[in-house]
Each structure stands twice: as C-alpha cells, then as structure tokens.
Structure 1
Amino acid sequence: MSSSSGSGSGSGDIGQLSEDQQTALQQFTAVTDQSVETAIPLLQRCQWNVQIAISRHFDGEPAEPAIPEETIPAPQDIRRRETLANGFGRSSAIGRRNLEPAPRVVPQPEHQVTQQAPFILSLVLFPFRFAYGIVSKLFNVFSYLFPFLPRLIGMRAAPNARRRDTSGRRPLNPRDTAARFIREFEEEYGAHEIPFFEGGYAQAFDLAKKELKFLLVVLVSSEHDDTASFVRETLLSPDVVAFIRNPANNIIVWAGNVQDAEAYQVSNALNCTKFPFAALIVHTPAVSSTAMSTVARIVGPTPPATFMSRLQTAIAQNSEPLNRTRATRAEQQAARNIRQAQDTAYERSLAQDRERARRRREEEEARRRAEQEERERQEAKEREARNLAAWRAWRARSIAGEPGPEVKDAVRISLRMPSGDRVVRRFAPDADMEELYAFVECYDVLQEQQASQEGAEKPTAYEHEYKFVLVSPMPREEFDLKKGGTIKERIGRSGNLIVERTDLDEDEGDEDE
C-alpha cells in the first residue's frame, strides 16, 4: 500500500513539474538510477541543478524522504541554473529570467600544441604509452557497458579541461578547424545553403555580442546514430535553412564536431548531455550590460517544425531587449559621432589658427630680417662712403704735383672722365700707374682744393678698390693695375684714355632693389 501511495505521490509531483524540471529529473535518474521519490527532494535542495545533485549523490549525501504533497509548494516555471564554476551568487539574478550564462570558450593556442618528442625519448616512453593504451581501451569498454561513467568522471574534472584527442584528428587552429568541419559536412551531406561561421567559437561569440545577433551553436557527433537524420531532416530542411538565412533574424551559425578539441570544450561548457545538440546564445541586457546567455537548448532529434518553433520563440522573447539595446547604442554612436565631428571641427579651427599665427610670425620675421638687412646695407654704404671720402682726402695729399716745363720726359695724358669732361694732365716719367689711377679717383677732391687740408688720415681696416679702368679707344686696350709698371712704360709719352666705370652693374642692381 505504501509503495502504491508513494508511486502515486511521485506521479502527481511529476505532473506539477515544469518542462525543465522534468528534464533535470530524467537526467538525474538516468545517471544515478534512483527512484523519483528520492530524486525530487535532492533536486529541490540543489535548486534543480543536475550537476550539483549528481555530485552530492555520489559524495554520499543521505537522501531524505519526499515531502508530503500538502507541504510541497506550488512549482514555478523558474529554474535557477548554476555551474560549479559560477557559484551560487551569480545564479540568483539569472534564474529570475530562466537564463543560463553562456561561456566564452577559448581553445588551446596553436603555439602550445604538444610537439612530437625526439626519437630516443619516444623509445624510452614507449612502454608507458603501451600500458596507457591498454588502460584506455579497457576504460572504453567499461564506458560502453556503463554509460554513466564518462559523464560522472567528466563532471568531477575541471569544467574547461581539454580532452585528450584519441580520434587521430590533427589539432588545428580555430579557423582551420571550422574550414575542415565545413568541408567534411559538404562531403557527407552535399551542397547546402547554411551560412556556417568560418572561424572559432570565441570569434563567433564576440561577433554576436558586438553586433547584437543570435549565435546558434550546433554540435554533432559522427559516432551518434541520430546525427545523419537530424542533419538531413531538420538542419537542412528548407524551412529551417530559410529561417536561418533570413537577415531579419540576425542569426550567426557556428557548428562543430565534438571529435575536435574546440567543439568538445564548447560541449562541456554548454553542459551538453546528448547529441545532436543546438543552443541559441544572445546578449541579455536585463542580466548585465555584457552578459551573454543561452536562451534556448534543443537536445536530441527534433522535427523541423519543433526546431524552428523553439528558435522563433526564443528570438521573439529576446528581440525587444535587443532592439532597445540597439537603439541605445545607435544614440550613443550618434552622440559620439557628433562629439567627434565637433572635436574635428575644433581641431581644424585650432590648426587654422596655428597656421595663421605661424604665417604671421614668418612674415614678421621675414620683414624684420629684411629691415635688418636693409639697415645693415645702408650702414655699410654709409661706412663705405665715409671711408672712401677719408681715403680720397688722405690720398689726394700724397699725389705729386704736375711737373713743370723743365721736365723734358713728362708724360702727357688726356683723360675723358665719366662725367664727359676732358682733363689733360702731365705726370712724371717715373710715376707709377697707381698714381694715374689715384689722380682720377681724387680728381673731385683736388678740384675742391681739399688736398691741402691738414689732418687727413688713412682710414683703418679699409682696403681701397678702384671701381674703374683706363682704356685707350683705338685700338682698345685696358691699362689695369694688375700688371703694374710706370705710366711711361705702359702708355708712352702721351695718350688718350677713357675712364670706364666697373661698378655700374652693382649700382643698377641696388636701384632695382
């Protein structure tokens, strides 16, 4: 009678459980082989978390009798999901919306992949590897006979522990692994239109989070009997393919074979207990500003209509928060664009002001430099004029007077000055050519009778340069000072000379400036 009563009570309790609670109860009883009356209290104490309940059961926690029906509170369609890694604190906020946090799985970096050992070390380790192979095969046999053993050992291991690859598949980086899966999928099931993400799970996860899209994770096992039928009848169904490819649904599809290390880690992180497996992950702003949650789990063979209905329901429930988040991000991006445009305009205005200030400084500096050069040039001209006047006054005092009639060998020179005047002067036969040049240079001073003034001295640090040359008209010959000699030796007893100035080009250049 008691057995009948207990069974009836258990059946009544099962009818009041939600769909997720019934799934958790089935998983727990399949692993532990416990009765429903014993399993329900333990699951209630563990907040319906299958992993924690199984761990407590195998740790030897005593089972409590089922609570009488009248004391059992009305079940709620709320399931607090938590993992051993996340703890109890975080699940309280997530459980209110029946959301499970979606992990971001990063596979082992390519540079950390174990390299092949040297040949000598391989010989030394061969006996250990041989023994390990035998133990592994025995464990596989026991795993086949007792299916709960792999799950039990896997639950006690670290959640993200990396499985040893015994399938003989060479480990690749995430992008190459995805390409290999797509190639094998097409070889097995033919051409298709499913837009698989050609990258790693972490990249697809980050893309869905950044662009506020839904990430559909599909995990298959080539060793599972239902994989082929699920792919051909459900995943490749025209309705499902059209739904996935519809841009309005914003779905990113990432798929993997659990024989690959990355897909195996993803299956452990998503608590996958049966294949084929599909999960829909999306950003949930109600949980936190960065949270990614699993909003739908589709386990085992599922008809196309049910598969698409589950996806549609999850997308419909989470589209409104996503749209609000998109609108908020659009407003924030518009505000950032406005600020950036304002900052750009401000920087451009500052750059223009700096450029104008620089040009003003350069123009002012050029003007100041030009004024300084002009002032120095004028000072140099005035200094040159003073030195020239002083030198003429000094040199005019030392010019010998014109020889008298008694000097029979005097040289008679007829000079045509630059002013057009004709000057005739007699010079001593031994007078140097420089004497003739000095006479021409100091002619104005001699005419003004300043040569007789006392006190004229040669200016210091001044080297006089004659800026004219004496030339005979026909035939033309220049009598410059470089060749030296006396007037008689160079010109003879008499001569007609023209004074040609050599500084006319410099004077014209100064006038042009």
Structure 2
Amino acid sequence: MADAGVDIAQLTEDQQLALQQFTAVTDQELKDAIPLLQRCQWNVQIAIARFFDGEPAEDPVAAAPQDTRRQETLLNGFSSSRSSTSSRRPMDPAPRVVPQPESQVTTQAPLLLTVLLAPFNLIYSILSKCFRFMGYFLPFLPRVWGRLTASNINTPVSRGTTSGRRPLNPRDTASRFKREFEEEYGEHSLPFFENGYAQAFDLAKKELKFLLVVLVSPEHDEMASFIRETLLSQEVVDFIRNPENNIVLWAGNVQDSEAYQVSGALNCTKFPFAGLIVHTPQVSSTAMGVALRIAGPTPPTQFVSKIRQAMQTHMEPLNRVRAQRAEQQSTRSIRQQQDSAYERSLAQDRERARKKKEEAERKAREEKEALEREEAKERYAQNLEQWQKWRASGIAAEPGAEEKDIVRISLRMPSGDRVLRKFAASAPIEELYAFVECYEILQAGESEKVSKPKGFEHQYKFQLVSPMPREAYELKAGGTLKERIGRSGNLIVEKTDVESDGEEEEEEE
C-alpha cells in the first residue's frame, strides 16, 4: 500500500484483523483507515468512535511539527480562504453522542471520608425510612414536600435528567418514547428510528442519508400543537417516508438523558426543535455537520420547504460520494469475483494434480504388486519342481510279482489319464499322494539327486476320492494304504485349489 505508507503484508495478524473489522463497519478506504488505526494504537473500538465522531483520517496540520498557536493560525486561514471562495456558510460539526445510563455511573468516596460520614448516613437512612413510613399513612406529605423543593426553571435544557425518569439503554429509551408518543397523539405513520442517537448517526453516515433529529419537551405549551399540526401532518409524513429523500428520523424527549445530551450537543435553545444532520465530504471524509436548525413552531409547508432546501444544498457532494462508493464497491466486487474465480481455478488445478498423482501412485503400486506376485509364482514353481525331484527320489519302487502283501490302486489323473500302480500294503497314504504329485517326474525318469528346498512348506493341492460310494481319503487322517483303502481301490484325483487355477486362466486370457 504505497498510499497508506504501510504494506498490509508487513502488518501483524492482530493488526490485519483490526483493519478488517474497522473497514467492515465504516466502509472506509485502506489509505485512510490505516493511519487512523495507527493513531488509535490499533484499537478498533476507539478508531470506530473517532471515525463516527468526525475525526479526519489524515490531519496534515496536526502531523506537522508546529506549536498550538501556529496550528490555530493555519486552521483559521484555511477556513477563511474557503469561506471567501464559497458563498455557503460553514456548518457546525455534529458530534456523536453516546450516553451512559445514570445507573451505571458510580463514584467511590475515599475510605477516610466514608468513615467520617458513616454516622450521618445512618441518621439520614433512619429519617428517610421514618418519612416514607409517615408518607404511607399521610399521602399528601410527599406532594407538599415536592412542591416546596421543586425548582421553577424556565429553560427546559437546564432540567437535564432531573425529571426522575428511569434511565434506560438507548434502544429501550427509543421504545418508551414511541410508546408515550402513541399514547399521547394516537396512531401515526412516522418512521421513528427505534434505537439510540449514536446508532442513527452511524447509519446516516454509513449509508449517506440525512438524519432528522426532533427534540420534544412536554413542558412547553406549543409542543402539542407543533406535533399535531406540523409533525403529524400528511405533507410532513409523506416527505419523511419518501425513500427518495433518504431521511432517518430520530426523536427524543429531553427529559431522558440521551435526548438531553443531544440537545446540548446541537445547541438547542428553544422548543420545539428539529435539526438536519448530513455527511460533509467537503470538510473531511468522516465529518458530519448540522445542515439546518428549526426552532419554534413552524407550519408544515415551511417546515418541509426548509428541509428540502437544505437537502438540495448538500445533494451534489453526497451524490459524488455515493458514486465513488458505488465505483469502489463495484471494483471490490469485481476483485472479489476475480479472486474467487482464481481460487476455484487453483482448486481445480490442485484437484487434477492430486488425482493425477494418486493415479500414478496406484499404477505404480499395482505394477509393483503384479511384479511381486510374478516373482512369488516363479519362486514357488522353482521350489515345487525341486521338491518334486527330491520327493520322487524317495518314493519306493513298484513291488514285483513275487510280493503278496500289496495294494492295487487305479488312479484317474486330472488330465484324464488312468494309471494303475501297485504299492506295498504297509506304505503310508502320504506315499500315494507323493506318487500323484511326482508322477510327471517319475514318468520322465529323471534320477537327479537334489536336496529339499529350504524354507519351502509343500502342500498337496488335491485330494483322493473314491467315486462310489464317495469317500475322500484325506492326508491328515494318516494310516497305511491297506488300512485306509484295502486291497484295491479306484480313486479320482480332485484339485482343491480351484480359485488359484481360475485366476491363472484369467491372467493368461
């Protein structure tokens, strides 16, 4: 940010968060927001309060190393030169009033003074309780005492908050005023702003609207006629409710603390009172000024005419500011759309890169697994062939014709060939399984002596089954051929690893 003198990237995370909150509330440019936050030590609440109180974002006179008298001379010269070149009378600034309820104002007396006044406080408490007790039986005493002690002050503004009304927060105070107004004057169509003066002030400043402040004092005789004949007239109501006029209406009773402070801030000296507050960009980018004061009873036509004339005087600078803000908002919206589109495109590129990487990893993993399976098959085939040669060398030869204690077996191999073979009756059934497993080696007549493969656990992937009646001669049951099969047998070799064979056929296809 060359304009602001500070690069946003150089700000800390807390400072960037404070800047974001400040611009979200005030809708101010970064070049004006950063210097104001720096002067407020990056305190968002103080910066917002100063912004709405009318402090300019940049004050070259205050920033210059000059004394107070020099600053006053420069300011007076600047004001006089402007007033000489403009026929418009300088506007009074409109402060932002934030009242504090009296119930929240507490003062702590010194400990020594509290101890000294403790007897007097006790006596006062006892007398006040006695007086209230007497007033319960004699109701006229409080009224007489109130008349004797009441102060007859003609100036309404000097009453302040001594009316005895319960202090409330700004929203509740506005609701009470609206309720009392309707009870006194009946139903109406005036769009009263149902919140505090400070909130109405902020709304008018943020949205570049006119803030119409109406202050009423029930003690004035002309107040009721002004409200009924002027404020509630159809001409005034239609003018205020017209959305093209951009008017925010805030009203208050000077008997309330907030309205009393507003009357003092706006220099109200006569009732009924109406003031028009407007943003003054010609003074500074954050200033609000009092464009019009209407004091005393005024006919409705004259009331509307004065307000309309004051509004037209300030309409041109407001329209320029509205156009600037609209352009800034449009630029900001376009930038946000571009950033959003860039983020979406970047996310899509990242997603494609991620999928591409995952696909490459999957293919590499599948190729690695296939290679490992192929190597495992080759090792198994080599170990199986070595085992078959080793086991074939240990199979006993077929008994001769002179042998009587023998078992004749007819085997139907998986290939469909039928093999007749005689075995010794005392031979274990594993001998028959080994003969079937090593049949091809025995047929080839290979007599090579090999050792048993290390770490290889052989498993027979077939079983011998008698067809009728069907009976499976499992190897784990053990026993000799004579015990299990008898003198002769007709057996079928059935494979048990059907799934692995199917997988091999699929791979070959």
1:402-440 Cα offsets, whole Å, 9 max, x none, are 122232111111111111111111111111111111110
> Where does 1:129-148 land on structure 2 (aligned, <5 Å)?
140-141=150-151, 143=153
Residue of structure 2 in register with 1:266 after alignment: 262
With normalisation by structure 1, the TM-score equals 0.73
Aligned residue identity for 1:487: L
Do the aligned partners of residues 125 and 224 (structure 1) sit closer, same or farther apart at CA in structure 2, a change above 3 Å counting?
A: same
1:86-235 alignment runs, 5 A limit: 96=83, 97-108=89-100, 112=104, 126=125, 140-141=150-151, 143=153, 151=158, 165-235=161-231
The equivalent residue for 1:4 is: none
CA-to-aligned-CA distance 1:223-275 (integer Å, 9 cap, x gap): 22221111111111221111111121111101111122221221222222222
Q: How far, CA to CA, are the matches of 2:223 and 2:336 in structure 1?
A: 52
Give the whole-Å Cα distance in 2 for the aligned partners of 1:382 and 1:275. Answer: 108
Residue of structure 2 equivalent to 1:453: 448
Q: Cα 1:325–1:129, aligned 2, differ >3 Å: closer, same or farther?
A: farther
Check 1:92–1:185 CA distance in 2 against 1; reply closer, same or farther (3 A cut): farther
C-alpha distance in 2 between matches for 1:496 and 1:110? 114
User: What is the 5 A alignment of 1:279-428?
Assistant: 279-428=275-424
Residue 395 of structure 1 deviates from its aligned partner by 1.0
Structure 1 distance, partners of 2:181, 2:95, is 25
Cα drift, residue 136 of structure 1: 10
Could you tell me how far 1:143 is from its partner in structure 2?
Answer: 3.8
Aligned CA distance change for structure 1 residues 138 and 391 (closer, same or farther; 3 Å): farther
**Which residue identity does 1:466 align to in structure 2?**
Y
For 2:223, give the aligned amino acid: T
Structure-1 separation of matches of 2:324 and 2:126: 63
Whether the 8 Å CA contact 1:275–1:300 is kept in 2: the answer is yes
Question: Partner residue of 2:478?
Answer: 484
Q: Cα distance 1:198–1:94, how it changes in 2: closer, same or farther (>3 A)?
A: farther
| Distance of aligned partners of 1:90 and 1:500 in 2 relative to their CA distance in 1, 3 Å threshold | farther
Q: How far, CA to CA, are the matches of 1:405 and 1:191 in structure 2?
A: 132
Secondary structure of 1:193 counterpart: coil
Aligned residue for 2:188, secondary structure, equals coil
> Judging changes above 3 Å, is the alpha-carbon distance between structure 1 residues 388 and 262 closer, same or farther for their aligned structure 2 residues?
same
The whole-number CA distance in structure 2 between the counterparts of 1:281 and 1:128 is 50
Specify which structure has the bigger relative contact order, considering alpha-carbon pairs within 8 angstroms and separated by 6 or more residues: 2
Alignment partner of 1:398: what SS? coil
State the secondary structure of the residue aligned to 1:104. coil
Q: CA deviation at 1:480?
A: 1.0
SS of match in other structure, 1:444: helix
Residue identity in the other structure for 1:226:
E
Contact 2:230 2:300 in 1 (8 A): yes
Q: What amino acid is aligned across from residue 184 of structure 2 in structure 1? A: E
- Which residue pairs with 1:465 in the alignment? 459
**Alignment RMSD:** 3.1
Deviation string 1:51-92 (CA, Å, 9 cap, x unpaired) is: xxxxxxxxxxxxxxxxxxxxxxxxxxxxxxxxxxxx998787
Matched residues in 1 for 2:223 and 2:433: separation? 120
Deviation at 1:166, TM superposition (A): 3.7
Structure 1 residues 422 and 332: CA distance shift in structure 2, 3 A: same
Equivalent residues of 2:410, 2:418 under 8 A apart: yes
Q: Specify the SS of the correspondent of 1:176.
A: helix
- Contact 2:101–2:168 at 8 Å: present in 1 too? no
Helix, strand or coil at the partner of 1:295 = strand
C-alpha separation in 2, matches of 1:486 and 1:171: 111
Q: Do 1:430 and 1:487's aligned partners in 2 also have CA atoms closer than 8 Å?
A: yes
Highest Rg: 1 or 2?
1
Give the match for residue 250 of structure 2: 254
Q: How does 1:493-504 map to 2 (within 5 A)?
A: 493-504=487-498
Helix, strand or coil for the counterpart of 2:404? Answer: coil
- Contact residue 171 and residue 194 of structure 2 kept, 8 A: yes
TM-score (norm 2): 0.74
Distance 1:289 1:128 in 2: 58
The code of the aligned residue for 1:432 comes to P
Distance 1:406 1:110, change over 3 A: farther
Q: Give the whole-Å Cα distance in 2 for the aligned partners of 1:349 and 1:191.
A: 58
Q: How many residues align?
A: 406
Task: Determine the C-alpha separation between the residues in 1 that align with 2:504 and 2:124.
Answer: 99
Deviation at residue 168 of structure 1 after TM alignment: 3.5
AA matched with 1:387: N
Counterpart contact for 1:94–1:287, Cα < 8 Å: no
Cα distance change, pair 252–142 in 1 and its aligned pair in 2 (3 A)? closer
Instruction: Percent identity, please.
Output: 64
Give 3-state SS (helix, strand or coil) of 1:191's partner.
Answer: coil
Unaligned runs of 5+ in 1: 1-86, 116-120, 155-162
Task: Read off the aligned partner of 2:422 and give its amino acid letter.
Answer: R
**In the TM superposition, what whole-angstrom CA distance separates every residue of 1:292-344 from its partner, at most 9, and x where no partner exists?**
11111111222222221210111000011111111111111111111111111
Give CA-to-partner distance per residue, 1:187-220, whole Å, 9 cap, x none: 1111111111111111111111111110101111
In structure 2, the CA distance between the partners of 1:289 and 1:231, relative to structure 1 (3 Å rule), is same
Separation in structure 2 between the aligned mates of residue 283 and residue 136 of structure 1, nearest angstrom: 45
Q: Which runs of 5+ in 2 are unaligned?
A: 1-71, 84-88, 108-119, 132-141
